[in-house]
Chains A and B, each alone.
Chain A
Amino acid sequence: MLIGFDLLDRQILDRDGEPVGKVDDVELAVDGNGTPYVAALLIGQQALGDRIGGVLGRWLAGTARRLAPAPTPGPIRIPYDLVAEVTSSVNLSVSRDLLPEPPLESWLRDHLINRIPGADNAG
């Protein structure tokens, strides 16, 4: 598997096929024999902004960092052990309820969407 071609920028889906995010970046680690392996998938505009770079990338990462909750300011990190299968999407073996929620989603839901009547009904 090529990280750049088969993993980066793919859609991540949870056990039930619900979208979790994109593989915005990966975290590499080195095992005892000195072989690097993918330790975790990084999700969110922080990771993406750092990868894009430049003024726009810094702005993207900066705004995302400001929204991130205080104790865990980094991007959302999904240990690679949770990946069940990589097809046209990256499928996890857990439900997304067990993963941290993206801060922008929580913020917009609490400050905007939930204040509008009918936010609970599917169209």
Chain B
Amino acid sequence: MKRVLAIALGVLTAIGGFVDIGDIVANAESGARFGLSHAWVPLVGVIGICAYAEMSGRVSAVSGRPVFDLVRERLGPRVALANLAGSLLVTVLTLGAEIGGVGLALQLATSVGYLLWVPVVGVVLWVVLWRAKFSLLENLFGLTGLALVVFVIAFLHLHSDTGQLWRQATHPGPPVGEDWGTYWFFAVALFASAMTPYEVFFFSSGGVEERWSSKDLLTSRVNVFVGFPLGGLLAFALMATAATVFHPLQMSVDSLSQVALPAAVAFGKLGLAAAILGFFAATFGAAMETGLSSAYTVAQYFGWAWGKFRRPNGAARFHTVLMVSILVGVAVLMTTIDPIQLTEYTLVFSAVALPLTYLPILVVANDSGYLGRRVNGRLANGFGLLYLVIVLAAAIAAIPLMIVTRMGGG
């Protein structure tokens, strides 16, 4: 019974924890501008992250090695160092974007400008990662993130023109007034928001810290195969409500308050409150995950002692990197860059970095030296290879699309 509860909690946490500022921004923007014509992208993205998170969870559980260990073992120190630089840049920028998201959520709740909140959030985040019982907070923010269910209920409540939405979803392509360039730019951003590399860094490192063994494969798989798709559903609800409320009016979404609007239209103040709470929890949870992931990748590349379960003075280098990452994230925001714009950039850079993360996972998941008889079966390899091709295409297309469409501006 206790085991069932633990799994249920893990799943709920995975649902709430799946959504971050990237998902919020990408889904709402695409829903407003393109209706549901990108509906297939989150689906493709969720299947991809499930395939690779399952592999990395299995490698962690059976061999005790987290993802970045594999990156260095399989790519060698030079390529892995370049990979580290890229991943770290993306993860720290994402951390900045998440902190900005927390600030924006607090601005919505308090009317105090987000820039004033940013340093406060940075300090609180650091204190939490320095001192607090991490698993408790992870569950707390994961569960609170479920408040985003309000967007699913709002969608059902809003009497949307389902016929119209269905037509958009089944006829992928740019609506009137948009072109194929912007269509594909947003497709890449949405795909990257579902498959952000920090998710596998965090997931596999968490598995190692909790000393998963082969017995925990079930827990890992249930978390991945139930939690992530349901989390993806929350993200998709943001797209669907934006497609319902904004797309018919030809409005675009460029602030967090507009993303929350559909919930307010459906349920008034209560809906708005739930949306803000959900944004806050989702972005703060993701800030914890990205902060830790930055430090995980560096520590795992160099072989340092790492982990949130260690005393900070038993992992001084790890905690120093963590501290510096948060400082850099806060500093980026203090340049007064718009957090939403920062999020868009991080999604593009994530797309570029994706293959470097996923290739070593696929290689090691086929290595019986690590996994014994738990190596990939045909199904896992089929999906793995297919997604490697997709990820590579997205990585190659990301920067040219960004330049041609001027960040999706058209």
Residues of chain A having any CB pair with chain B under 8 Å: 6, 9-12, 18-22, 24, 43, 45, 48, 51-52, 56, 87-89, 102, 104-106, 108-109, 112-114, 116, 118-123
Determine which of A22, A104, A108, A114 lies in contact with B72 in the assembled complex, contact meaning CB atoms within 8 Å: A22
B319 adjacent to A88 (CB under 8 Å): no
| 13 A-B residue pairings within 8 Å (CB atoms) | A18-B305, A21-B303, A22-B302, A22-B303, A24-B303, A52-B81, A56-B81, A88-B370, A102-B304, A105-B304, A105-B305, A108-B320, A114-B316
List the 8 shortest-distance A-B pairs measured between CB atoms, nearest first: A22-B303, A109-B316, A88-B63, A108-B316, A21-B303, A119-B313, A113-B316, A119-B312
Query: Known contacts being A19-B306, A56-B81, is A112 close to B320, with CB within 8 Å?
Result: yes
Query: Known contacts being A21-B303, A123-B308, is A9 close to B76, with CB within 8 Å?
Result: yes
B134 in the interface (beta carbon within 8 A):
yes
B310 in the interface (beta carbon within 8 A):
yes
Complex interface: chain B residues within 8 A of A18 (CB): 305
Determine which of B69, B130, B316, B370 lies in contact with A105 in the assembled complex, contact meaning CB atoms within 8 Å: B316
Q: Which of B73, B303, B308 has the most CB of A within 10 A?
A: B303
B369 in the interface (beta carbon within 8 A):
yes
Bound complex: CA A52 to CA B79 (Å): 10
Determine which of B65, B77, B303 lies in contact with A88 in the assembled complex, contact meaning CB atoms within 8 Å: B65
Q: Which of B63, B130, B306 has the most CB of A within 10 A?
A: B130
B77 adjacent to A52 (CB under 8 Å): yes
B312 adjacent to A116 (CB under 8 Å): yes
A18 to chain B: closest residue by CB: B305
Complex interface: chain A residues within 8 A of B40 (CB): none
B130 adjacent to A21 (CB under 8 Å): no
Complex interface: chain A residues within 8 A of B73 (CB): 9-10
Determine which of B134, B304, B311, B320 lies in contact with A121 in the assembled complex, contact meaning CB atoms within 8 Å: B311
A107 to chain B: closest residue by CB: B316
Determine which of B80, B306, B313 lies in contact with A109 in the assembled complex, contact meaning CB atoms within 8 Å: B313
Complex interface: chain B residues within 8 A of A113 (CB): 312-313, 316, 319-320
Chain B at the A interface: SS class: helix
Query: Known contacts being A11-B69, A123-B134, is A20 close to B303, with CB within 8 Å?
Result: yes
A53 to chain B: closest residue by CB: B78
**Total residues of chain B contacting the partner, CB 8 A:** 34
B132 in the interface (beta carbon within 8 A):
yes
Q: Which of A6, A87, A105, A118 has the most CB of B within 10 A?
A: A105
B316 adjacent to A118 (CB under 8 Å): no
Using A22-B303, A112-B316 as known contacts, list a sample of 12 further A-B pairs with CB atoms less than 8 Å apart, ordered by residue number in A.
A9-B76, A19-B305, A48-B302, A52-B78, A105-B305, A108-B320, A113-B316, A116-B312, A118-B312, A119-B313, A122-B311, A123-B129
B131 in the interface (beta carbon within 8 A):
yes
Bound complex: CA A39 to CA B391 (Å): 42
Bound complex: CA A45 to CA B63 (Å): 25
Chain A at the B interface: SS class: mixed
B309 in the interface (beta carbon within 8 A):
yes
Determine which of B69, B129, B313, B317 lies in contact with A104 in the assembled complex, contact meaning CB atoms within 8 Å: B317
Bound complex: CA A108 to CA B313 (Å): 9
Bound complex: CA A57 to CA B73 (Å): 18
Bound complex: CA A106 to CA B304 (Å): 12
Complex interface: chain A residues within 8 A of B309 (CB): 122-123
Query: Known contacts being A52-B78, A112-B316, is A12 close to B370, with CB within 8 Å?
Result: no
Q: Which of A51, A108, A123 has the most CB of B within 10 A?
A: A123
Bound complex: CA A112 to CA B303 (Å): 20
A108 adjacent to B317 (CB under 8 Å): yes
A21 adjacent to B304 (CB under 8 Å): yes
Complex interface: chain A residues within 8 A of B134 (CB): 123
Return A22 CB to nearest CB of chain B, in Å. 3
Bound complex: CA A18 to CA B315 (Å): 11
Determine which of A9, A10, A104, A122 lies in contact with B310 in the assembled complex, contact meaning CB atoms within 8 Å: A122
Complex interface: chain B residues within 8 A of A121 (CB): 131, 311-312
B96 in the interface (beta carbon within 8 A):
no
Complex interface: chain A residues within 8 A of B69 (CB): 11
Complex interface: chain B residues within 8 A of A6 (CB): 369
Return B134 CB to nearest CB of chain A, in Å. 5
B157 in the interface (beta carbon within 8 A):
no
B303 to chain A: closest residue by CB: A22
Contact residues, B74-98 vs A (CB, 8 A) = 76-78, 80-81
